[in-house]
Structure 1
Amino acid sequence: MSSTSSDDRTTPPTVWLAHGRHLGSDAADVLRANLQRRKDAGTLDDFREHAATEDTPDRVLEARWRVGAEVTVRARLTLSPVSSGGQDWVLAAEAEQPWDLMWPSPATMFWPGTSDVFWDRDAATGLRLRELSLLPEDEKDIRRLLRQAVRSSWAVHVVVHEAMTTDQRGRRPLAGMLPPSLRHRVVEHRALPHQLPVVNWALKDFGVEVPRGGAAVLPGRPVAPGYNGRDFAVRSVFLDGSEPTELLATVTRFAGLPKPLPEGGREAVTALREQWQLLTMEEELARERALVQMYSEALEAMTKSRDLYREAAERAGEALEIYRQNAPAPLEPASRDPQTGSPLQQLGRTFGRWKETLRPAARDEAADRQPD
């Protein structure tokens, strides 16, 4: 697993992310069967399914394979049911070096490549990832769809304007001509000739304008640093079945931008890195050694703390003993007769006798002063 540090808000260059929807309830069975076929064919090194619990009802599957010159890829797919039916899936893959778009798409490692299994739906818009989609006829629906595409989708959305009515050759999907790792991350929208004003009105707030007969790559949210609507617009796209070289280069360039993590993307990357369980024998051994080392260091720290505490207690005891030996003897309290009471009581009695003695003399003096 790559430990390359990166900004928490930016997708690491080693990571591949996708978010889609499977229209059915058998997604886990489809995944399990395809992963087993891949493993039997030697495409996958191994895969594993996590047991669902009450705390984590989502299904989680992990897979590991190698690409290029023995570069290991680890991927984690999470299935979550949705209220409208079907299951959302989040797929996070990470390689041991920066991701190469010419590597196989992680989606094809988990999902079958056949078109009869509807797993390749964009979770935000519901549109297929491997096909082109005509924009709806209603203007309100167009605005709603394009805003969802910009604000909520993890995919790369491309709008192509058909300047004139085209035939089947002009409806060739863009995904099949893209690098393998981009084919399941792109949604292609087709605007009919009369829909261009509505499209540009809907995209005005996002700083994007689709040229007549051209195409534009939508920014997404958050907007990637360095994105400018003019730089990712293609002025003309020939819809005659030929390869749109400039448009393909523009989409690929956009995919290479350092993009901020989408909502939920950080959690997917963190789970891939911190909750990974599909370990090789060497990795299991390394992990156990690391645990032994950690416990050994903790035990050593506890032992050292105990010894320091014992030494401090012994020194405190020695200091107390020295103090006791050198302290001056306490003064003995003055002995007194229990019948006489305390000195304060004795003083009170003395003062009372002196007052009684003064009283007769005071009376005699007062009598002498009275007139006859």
Structure 2
Amino acid sequence: MADPLANDFYARLAPQGEFSRLADGNAYVPLPDDWYVGTADIVGSTAHIAAGRYKIVNTVGASVISAQMNAADGMTFPFVFGGDGASFAFPSGHLPRATDALSRVLRWAADAFGFELRGAIVPVADIRAAGFDVSVARYRPSATIDYAMFAGGGLAWADREMKAGRYRIDPAPEGALPDLSGLSCRWTPMKSRNGTILSVLVLPRPGADPAAVTAVSRRVVEMTRGLAGGGHPVPPEGPGVTWPNEGIAIEALASRGHGSLLRRKIELLATTLVAHFFFITRIKLGAFDPTHYVQVTRDNADFRKFDDGLKMTIDCDAATRDRIETVLREASAAGIVSYGLFEQESAIMTCIVPSVTSDNHVHFIDGAAGGYTSAAMALRAAP
């Protein structure tokens, strides 16, 4: 019989305030046995990146989470953004809604952008039967938002199963649309101030000593403390804005519903022009304070996470980059971790904003020229 408290499992977890503590597996709690894991990614994302479509890739990846948030009816659930996709988890009673939302996103990605977005939903019980686990923790980067961290190798196993064609979810029928309310991508790319935007992936090797993996991850995180802003890619004054920007066309495809794409673009051009004025002048408008909103945007940004391993998008100088690579190369040679690094000039941000007058807006950070996807390719190419 299902635990009556299972639906509230994640909401009842106490958030952690110290990021480096999350390198330790003891900070995580296993998901209930009757929960499910959902995962999705874009097939051929590297080709889309090479064609300069990474902002669209990020938007489609974030749309997986946006659709699930809007289908959750206020339920708190764990999710993680992966650049060209996303993963999430939910209780068994939410299975019909989660499946429907995912299938609609798969259809929308194909219809709006010609992307093949594949998705899967996997029982946690099957993950454990395969010898892996899914454990979660809540990390609170600011007073108003928290993000899920995952451990146990279960998400990675679910991703491999999806790519092998198992547990796959079919796209919804033609014409079906997901609810992507709040999904936006209006900020301009954020250029590095320290030298390079470095995408970092650090994954434990099979059979590696967990204490050794923890030590390596903590050492890498500690190295970022000496960077300006701790390596945060969003500048203290907040991300930049321009008008018009390429995100309007993408957002129009996410929010037009069954209406006219041209009309939706015109509506967004008008509303973003007004918003541009207030962000430039920083004049308050009723409950909306642009200066406060920009500061909260930076505080809420998801630029580092644990997702079956350490993942970061940091604004990094050359010396720190070299020290990080030295540590990771040595740990790789010792059989402790695998790693991937990718450098680019800028970072980009994709957002989910339920309301501009509340502080619970979500901001996903990635590199602007390949980011996590390209770092993963380097990881796969490593010996």
More strand by share: 2
The answer, yes or no, to whether TM exceeds 0.5 is no
Whichever of the two has the greater Rg, that structure is: 1
Taking structure 2 as the reference length, what is the TM-score of the superposition?
0.22
If asked which structure has higher relative contact order (CA below 8 Å, sep 6+), I would say 2
Taking structure 1 as the reference length, what is the TM-score of the superposition?
0.22
